[in-house]
Structure 1
Amino acid sequence: MKLKDEWLLGQIMCLGWALWERRNKLVFEHRIYTVDQTLQRALSCCMVPPQPSSAAVAAWLDGEVTGAATHSVTRAHGALAQAGPGPGRWQPPPPRFFKLNVDVAAAAERTMGCGFVVRNTTGQLLASGCSKHRGSLSVALGEALSLRWALQLALDLGFLHVLVETDSLIVVNTWRNIRRNNSYLASIVRDCISISSSFIAFEIVHARRTANMAADFMAKYALAYPCNVWIEDGPPGLEAILAFDVATLHD
């Protein structure tokens, strides 16, 4: 077979690079990459979606600067629950924690985009990603599926001290009252609780929409561009959201 298609050749080269990196991680760092992680690394090398315009990012920001919700916290096994007004902007996680923001966005054609962003205490981007769920889903169910997907990815990527933020109060309340709920939504949340038990330290927080803008951007990105997972990087346009979050820390 003659490989005249440059895109296909690039895909093969990226896969070879990802396999070589996987081998080096095992030999020199004793770290094991799963097959999914290796494939995602290959995709992150070769998938370069078109860049949203600066005007589109600015318009998105203008439309997301309002919103309010209630703040709730629960530990992985329900040992702690708090309620009170949450911050209106993204806040860094406590020392030694990573903050995982998760969100979904719905499209008219029965497609739901899922997005996540992981940052450290200084606001530095460590990982980001987006995916699609097709079919007729409620927003709450989409939020739970997105959370399950993001938790598993965070665990696979080695983020073992995690503070999760979601703007879905339904998901957080279902988590807190899981024993009294036999719905399909609760079954997905139970999967999330099971995954959370594998972390060394874990908390899940209900945040305002204005504190979850980066994950919202990733979820909406999934509806228009190829889905991917980025390590210490993100798609074009995300950097403006992250800079905005960090800038507001000093306001």
Structure 2
Amino acid sequence: MPVRTKLRKRGLDVDPLCPWCGIEEESIPHVLLECFCIRRVWFAVLGVHVTGATSFHASVLQILEGVGAEMVARFFTTVYAIWEARNACVFEDRELSIGAIMDRVRALEAFPRPTVLPRSSIHTGVATWNRPAAGWIKVNFDASVRRSMAGFGMVARDEEGMILAAVTLASVMMQSAGLAEALCLRWVMSLALELGFFNVCFETDSLQLFQWWRIRSRGCSYLDLIISDCRSLVSSFTLMDLLFVRRSGNTAADFLARGASSFAVWIEEGPPGLDTFVASDALASMPA
């Protein structure tokens, strides 16, 4: 985490003092646990006084020893809310508000936690489009390469099978279909965040891409770097998964990729012709 002491060690000319108390240097244990300005938060949340932390890791082990899963979740929810408040102070010049932090903790704890979707089998693959679980958004995406030019397509749908957004992108020079699929994944993940989708199940019909994602390669090829970029975006989502589906279950995204002629965005609708594929998917995925 880019606290000021670490930024100073990396050569940045920044004030090392805590933006809240202005007395001690801003280290990870200090800003998240020890600063007297936020000790009241920890007493209110867990009923503990945090002092003398040698490291954040050591403090976590000490505080959470023997507690249940609910308290563990509350601890890290509070850490997240404190870090948000710190960033608001540094970058937006907001004053510290203990009440605002507590409200944020309560809001995060009340956030719905949908059931995680089961992963598809690599060998058999789902042959038809399936609706996402309640609280999730399913984003199907595909890349189409013709004459060294690529077209990208994505369609986002809710648990009822209704279109939330459809997007196309064209005129991208491409060397291979595999590279196009990886670039499409990076594009669609960034796009989902821009659209405000944070509980997302991404679905691809590229078995090669799905296997690359599972292998977690740390090579230095251009493809490895793209996959690494995609992994860096995962933490921006509340919940995220990548599934494999057969091409017959990804026809809507394939239609968009093949027909892409420009960058175009449709909200709660799609281009002419997409409704046919969406209606077919919705019918095939209708609960028995």
When normalised by structure 2's length, the TM-score is: 0.56
Does 1:96 find its partner at 2:132?
Answer: no
Give deviations 1:186-241, integer Å, cap 9, x for gaps.
1111111111221000000111101111100110110xx43301111111111111
For structure 2, the residue ranges without an aligned partner over 5 or more in a row are 1-115
Q: 1:153 aligns with which of 191, 194, 199?
A: 191
Instruction: Summarize the alignment of residues 16-95 of structure 1 with structure 2, pairs less than 5 Å apart.
Output: 83-95=122-134
Identity %: 39
Structure 1 residues 167 and 193: CA distance shift in structure 2, 3 A: same
Could you tell me how far apart the structure 1 residues matched to 2:192 and 2:265 are?
11
In structure 1, the residue matched to 2:170 is: 132
In structure 2, the residue matched to 1:58 is: none
Does 1:105 find its partner at 2:165?
Answer: no
Structure 1 position 136, deviation (Å): 3.6
Q: In terms of mean alpha carbon deviation, does 174-183 or 236-245 score higher?
A: 174-183
Does 1:229 find its partner at 2:268?
Answer: no
Structure 1 position 84, deviation (Å): 4.7
Amino acid at match of 2:188: A
Structure 1 position 122, deviation (Å): 0.7
SS in 1 for 2:276: helix
SS in 1 for 2:217: helix
Instruction: Summarize the alignment of residues 172-183 of structure 1 with structure 2, pairs less than 5 Å apart.
Output: 172-183=210-221
Structure 1 position 168, deviation (Å): 1.3
SS in 2 for 1:134: strand
Could you tell me how far apart the structure 1 residues matched to 2:144 and 2:190 are?
20
Conservation of the 8 A alpha-carbon contact between 2:136 and 2:159? yes
Instruction: Summarize the alignment of residues 170-209 of structure 1 with structure 2, pairs less than 5 Å apart.
Output: 170-209=208-247
Q: 1:120 aligns with which of 138, 158, 167?
A: 158
Structure 1 position 83, deviation (Å): 4.2
Conservation of the 8 A alpha-carbon contact between 2:179 and 2:223? yes
Q: In terms of mean alpha carbon deviation, does 170-179 or 189-198 score higher?
A: 170-179
Structure 1 position 85, deviation (Å): 2.2
Conservation of the 8 A alpha-carbon contact between 1:171 and 1:189? no
Structure number having the greater strand percentage: 1
Could you tell me how far apart the structure 1 residues matched to 2:214 and 2:150 are?
25
In structure 2, the residue matched to 1:248 is: 284
Structure 1 residues 81 and 184: CA distance shift in structure 2, 3 A: farther
Structure 1 residues 180 and 148: CA distance shift in structure 2, 3 A: closer
For structure 1, the residue ranges without an aligned partner over 5 or more in a row are 1-74
Q: CA RMSD, aligned part only? A: 2.0
The size of the alignment, in residue pairs, is 170
Could you tell me how far apart the structure 2 residues matched to 1:193 and 1:214 are?
25
Structure 1 position 135, deviation (Å): 2.2
Give deviations 1:117-143, integer Å, cap 9, x for gaps.
000011000001010243242101000
Amino acid at match of 1:218: L
